[in-house]
Amino acid sequence: MINRWIELDMNKLVDKALKNDRVAIGRLLTFVERDPRRAGEILSLLPEDGEYHIIGITGIPGSGKSTLLSKLLYRYSKRGFRCGVVAIDPSSAFSRGALLGDRIRMQMHATNPNIFIRSVATRGLKGGLSFAGVAMVDILGRLGFDKVFIESIGVGQADVDIMGIADTIVVVVVPGLGDDIQALKAGVMEIGDIYVINKVDKSLEEANKTYEYLKFAIESGEIGGGEWIPKIVKTSAVMDEGIDRLTKYIDEHLETIIKSGDIIRKRDIRKKILVRLLAEKIFIDRLESIDINATSGNFYEEAVRLLKRVIEPS
Amino acid sequence: MINRWIELDMNKLVDKALKNDRVAIGRLLTFVERDPRRAGEILSLLPEDGEYHIIGITGIPGSGKSTLLSKLLYRYSKRGFRCGVVAIDPSSAFSRGALLGDRIRMQMHATNPNIFIRSVATRGLKGGLSFAGVAMVDILGRLGFDKVFIESIGVGQADVDIMGIADTIVVVVVPGLGDDIQALKAGVMEIGDIYVINKVDKSLEEANKTYEYLKFAIESGEIGGGEWIPKIVKTSAVMDEGIDRLTKYIDEHLETIIKSGDIIRKRDIRKKILVRLLAEKIFIDRLESIDINATSGNFYEEAVRLLKRVIEPS
């Protein structure tokens, strides 16, 4: 009986969400975050033929990507596009909650009916951390949002994986950071369709150095390699400089991937990524509920036995 | 025949490694990195009753933890301890290889027979990224290293997981970083047994602020909570200041966990973690070799089907 009720509720929720009912959208995304089975269900209930454009924005903390995103939201919503944002947050019990998302929310008018912002804390979603975020992005697109932004901190492989679902990837860097910080960016330096050198107001000289560095990496083939030649744009998000050019590049990239058919191929890839991440999430959830035996001293055998136990309950 | 040969080789390798043959140790660790089955085998071949002490050192890039570690290595090796280091590196094809490890290697005399340093690139070890690093740490301990350091970049849940295997956790922070960088540290701010405020030479005023902040967090119970009250120490690794105090706190923490029996309990937990991470690694490796189907439109069912396919071959 209870299941039946939830079933009905879900269809109603989806209908409401498709009509841009913000409370309904929020509740759908909460289901996605909490229950992988529901997430799969919601995805299956939604149309997949919308014309949404997923834009990934990545960059280390301090690169000003939240401000940049805020400027992009302003421009795209003004042009009549419905914009969704999913911010992947490295939050913790200590910092208590969502950092990126909150910051954007404060900057933007939260009341704009054409902008919907959600942050996903990675804490507690260990392993399956990417699933909720990726599913939310796809769901916002399927719900009729024209531009769906996914924002994450540019660190390591997890970030590269998250960005893998975007149609267009914007990598935000700042001029003049030390080797240490460069190391952080390492994983994401190869994946940009557009590179933004932000905070050029701080040091134009350093910005030009970074520009030459990126230009060389693109020309020598270290970055890019497909039909689209990665673009570089210098901005000052705070001063609202260079944002129109960035918007132009994002639009050009969209045109290119529509023409080449890559946007359709990407959609199929995204579906596979979602299935894979969902499988990982189910796996990790079950693994964590199992009491592990490690007494025999044979590590490999015990690991294989554990794997089998994870699958049994299904 | 080939299997038999490798079997013999492995026993010989382990024997040599137990006699501190550095080439043998290096080869063992390479097996661990490349082949989960071998890793399990090696773990099973090694004695588990050594008196090794695993020290985790975490902190964001730029916190100077490599220099700090280098000073600790100097002191502990001088006191006659054999020291091992496993550095978890956020490397990529772009940066080409190991960053943290290399830096330490440059600073230290690589020829010191009592110091063994190895870095593990996280790239390509997606999902199962932690297994190789954690297994290497445990193996170095089982091989007779007295102090085994695991160094990683203090970012998010992955780092908290890695640090979970350490007997003693040292969190390195720098004074006066902005909110952005604080966000990065979020996940690891709760887990320290010892907090190092490094680079105090840069700004003593900021260092004192950070000190008061940490002190308050400890006193109010936001940090810590067990028998051991987390310690705070101000250092300047570059100026070699405060390191003796840090060493003293590390030794005190070891004494405390030996007395309480926590070091033994930790060892059992570590075995379980190793089995779990190995299971994850096997799972992810297999998952990546499977061509995913995502055509039915039923995401949850396809994810569960995928899970079953992953387990079948065993």
- CB spacing of B279 vs A222 below 8 angstroms: no
Pair B39, B57 in one domain = no
Instruction: Look at residue A127 in the predicted model and tell me its pLDDT.
Output: 44
Q: Are A62 and B181 in contact (CB under 8 A)?
A: yes
Phi and psi at residue B55, in whole multiples of 5°?
Answer: -115, 115
What is chain A's Cα-based Rg?
A: 21
CB A235 within 8 A of CB A197: yes
* One pLDDT digit (tens) per residue for chain A, 314 residues: 455 555 567 889 999 999 999 999 999 999 988 888 888 889 889 987 788 999 999 887 677 888 899 899 999 999 999 999 998 865 443 343 445 555 555 556 567 889 998 888 654 434 445 788 889 999 999 999 999 999 887 655 566 677 888 999 998 887 765 443 454 445 556 788 999 999 888 888 888 888 888 888 888 877 777 789 999 999 998 899 999 999 999 999 999 999 999 999 998 888 888 898 888 888 888 888 888 877 777 888 898 888 888 877 54
Residue of chain A nearest B122, judged by CA positions: A157
The answer to whether residue B124 is domain-embedded is: yes
Residues of A with Cβ-Cβ distance to B282 under 8 angstroms: 303-304, 307
B221, B236, B259 - which closes a domain: B259
Do A293 and B314 count as a contact with CB atoms less than 8 A apart?
Answer: no
Torsion, CA A48, CA A49, CA A52, CA A53, rounded to 10: 90
What's the pLDDT tens digit per position in A184-202?
Answer: 445 556 788 999 999 888 8
Averaged pLDDT for residues B263-282: 88
The strand pair at A83-89 and A147-153 is best described as parallel
A106/B contact by beta carbon, under 8 A? no
Average pLDDT over residues B101-114: 65
**CB < 8 Å to A122, chain B:** 156-157
Q: Looking at residue A286, what is its pLDDT? A: 84
Q: Are residues B197 and B135 in the same domain?
A: yes
How does residue B106 score in pLDDT terms, banded at 50, 70 and 90? low
Q: Region of B213 please: left (phi>0), alpha (psi -120 to 50) or beta.
A: alpha
Which of A233, A263, A293 finishes a domain?
A263
Q: Which residues of B touch A94 (CB under 8 A)?
A: 186-187, 189-190, 222-223
Could you identify the residue written with the tokens 């890019």?
A224
Q: What pLDDT, on a 0 to 100 scale, did the predictor assign at position B180? A: 39
- For residue B25, the distance in angstroms to the closest alpha carbon of chain A comes to 19
Asked if residue A219 and residue A73 are part of one domain, the reply reads yes
* Chain A residue with minimum CA distance to B103: A180
Phi-psi sector, B275: left (phi>0), alpha (psi -120 to 50), beta: alpha
**Contacts (Cβ under 8 Å, ≥6 apart) of B294:** A268, A271, A272, A274, A275, B302
Residues within 8 A of B (CB atoms), A 225-264 only: none
Q: Write the CA distances from A46 to A198, A273, B74, B148, B228, integer angstroms.
A: 37, 17, 61, 52, 52
**Exposure string for A59-78, b = 16+ CB within 10 A, e = fewer:** bbbbbbbbbbbbbbbbbbbe
Tens of pLDDT, residues B122-152:
544 344 457 888 899 999 999 999 999 998 8
pLDDT of residue A88: 80
Q: Looking at the complex, does the CB of residue B7 fall below 8 Å from at least one CB of chain A? A: no
- Reply yes or no on whether the pLDDT at B263 is more than 60: yes
Does the pLDDT of residue B118 top 60, yes or no?
yes
Lowest mean pLDDT among A2-11, B43-52, B156-165: A2-11
A127 contacts B303? CB cut-off 8 A? no
Give the position of tokens 């000073």. B71
Name the closest residue on chain A to residue B303, using Cα atoms: A279
Which pLDDT band holds residue B49 (cuts at 50, 70, 90)? confident
Q: What count of other Cβ atoms lies within 10 Å of the Cβ of residue A226?
A: 11
Determine whether the interchain pair B91/A184 forms a contact, defined as Cβ–Cβ distance below 8 Å. Answer: no
Do residues B24 and B51 both lie within one domain?
no
> Does residue A293 form part of some domain?
no
Contact B287 A279 (CB under 8 A): yes
- Is A292 touching B (CB cutoff 8 A)? yes
Contacting residues for A55 by C-beta, under 8 A, at least 6 apart: A72, A147, A148, A149, A150, A166, A167, A168, A169, A170, A250
Cβ B207 vs Cβ B200: under 8 Å:
yes
Residues B4 and B131 in one domain: no
Q: Is A282 on the interface with B (CB under 8 A)?
A: yes
Beta strand A147-153 pairing with B147-153: unpaired
Cα separation, A306 vs A301, in Å, equals 8
Does B186 lie at the interface with A, CB-CB under 8 angstroms? yes
Q: What percent of chain B has pLDDT over 70?
A: 80
Distance from A214 to chain B by nearest Cα, in Å?
12
CA B274 to chain A, closest CA, distance in angstroms equals 8
Asked if residue A37 and residue A55 are part of one domain, the reply reads no
Structure tokens at A312: 């049994």
Residue B105 to chain A, least CA–CA distance (Å)? 16
Can you give the residue range of the structural domain that contains A30? 1-46
Mean of per-residue pLDDT scores for chain B: 81
Minimal C-alpha gap between B80 and chain A (Å): 31
A19-25's contacts with Cβ under 8 Å and 24+ in sequence apart are A20/A82, A20/A113, A20/A143, A20/A144, A22/A113, A22/A116, A25/A116, A25/A140, A25/A143
Would you call B22 an interface residue with chain A, using a CB distance cutoff of 8 Å?
no
Contact B127 A122 (CB under 8 A): no
B280 to A284: CB separation less than 8 angstroms, yes or no? yes
Asked whether A192 and A185 are in contact (CB, 8 A), the reply is no
Q: Average pLDDT of B169-177?
A: 80
Residue contact A306–B94, C-beta within 8 A: no
> What pLDDT shows up at residue B98?
45
pTM over 0.90: no
Domain final position from A221, A238, A263 = A263
Nearest Cα residue in chain B from A272: B294
Cβ <8 Å between B41 and A300? yes
Is there a domain that residue A98 lies in? yes
Within a domain: B304: no
- Residue B233: the pLDDT is 96
Residue A306 belongs to a domain? no
Burial class (CB in 10 A: 0-12, 13-18, 19+), B28: buried
Do A15 and A58 belong to one domain? no
Option in B91, B279, B300 nearest A186 (CB): B91
A304 and chain B in contact, CB less than 8 A: yes
CB neighbour list of residue B15: distance below 8 Å, 6 or more residues apart: none
In a domain, A126, yes or no: yes
User: CA-based Rg of chain B, rounded to a whole angstrom?
Assistant: 21
> Which carries the bigger pLDDT value, residue B231 or residue A189?
B231
Structure-token pair, residue B12: 């010989």
Instruction: Write b or e for each residue in A101-130: b if 16 or more Cβ atoms lie within 10 A of its Cβ, otherwise e.
Output: bbbbbeebeeeeebbbbbbbbbbebbbbbb
- CATH number of the domain encompassing residue B182: 3.40.50.300
- Unique residue bearing structure tokens 């795209």: A76
Q: Is residue A279 part of a domain?
A: no
B-chain residues near A301 (CB < 8 A): 40
Question: Are A294 and B282 in contact (CB < 8 Å)?
Answer: no
The answer on B232 and B133 residing in a single domain is: yes
* Pairwise CB contact (< 8 Å): B156 & A90: yes
- Tell me the three-class secondary structure of chain A, residue by residue: CHHHHHHHHHHHHHHHHHCCCHHHHHHHHHHHHHCHHHHHHHHHHCCCCCCCEEEEEEECCCCCHHHHHHHHHHHHHHCCCCEEEEEEECCCCCCCCCCHHHHHHHHCCCCCCCEEEEEEECCCCCCCHHHHHHHHHHHHHHCCCCEEEEEEECCHHHHHHHHCCCCEEEEEECCCCCHHHHHHHHHHCCCCCEEEECCCCCCHHHHHHHHHHHHHHHHCCCCCCCCCCCEEEECECCCCECHHHHHHHHHHHHHHHHHHCHHHHHHHHHHHHHHHHHHHHHHHHHHHHCCCCCCCCCHHHHHHHHHHHHHCCC
Average pLDDT over residues B250-261: 96
A297 touches chain B (CB under 8 A): yes
**Residue among A129, A181, A292 minimizing CB distance to B61:** A181
pLDDT in the model for residue B313:
58
Contact across the interface for A92 and B189, Cβ inside 8 Å: yes
Residue B147: φ, ψ to 5°: -120, 120
Q: Provide the pLDDT confidence category of residue B211 given band limits of 50, 70 and 90.
A: confident
CB pairs under 8 A between A and B: 221
A213/A241 same-domain check: yes
Residue A162 lies in a domain: yes
Number of separate domains in chain A: 2
> pLDDT > 90: what percent of chain B?
34
| Residue B143: predicted pLDDT | 95
- Decide if B93 touches A, using CB distance below 8 A: yes
- Bigger pLDDT: B167 vs A104: B167
Minimal CA separation from B270 to chain A, in Å: 9
* Cα dist from B220 to A21, A222, A242, B188, B224, whole Å: 42, 50, 46, 18, 9
Closest-CA distance of chain B to residue A150, Å? 18
pLDDT at B181: 44
Using the Cβ of B50 and the Cβ atoms of chain A, whether some distance falls under 8 Å is answered with no
Query: How remote is the C-alpha of A103 from its chain's centroid?
Result: 16
Residues 6+ apart with CB under 8 A from B78: none
Provide the shortest C-alpha distance from residue A243 to chain B (in Å): 22
Nearest C-alpha of chain A: how many angstroms from B223? 9
The span from the first CA to the last CA of chain B, in angstroms, equals: 22
C-beta atoms surrounding A188 within 10 Å: 28
Q: Give A79 to chain B, closest Cα distance, Å.
A: 31
Residue B29 has pLDDT above 70, yes or no: yes
**Same-domain pairing of B58 and B40:** no
Same domain assignment for residues A178 and A250:
yes
What pLDDT is stored for residue B144 in this prediction? 95
Q: Assess whether A96 and A28 both reside in one domain.
A: no
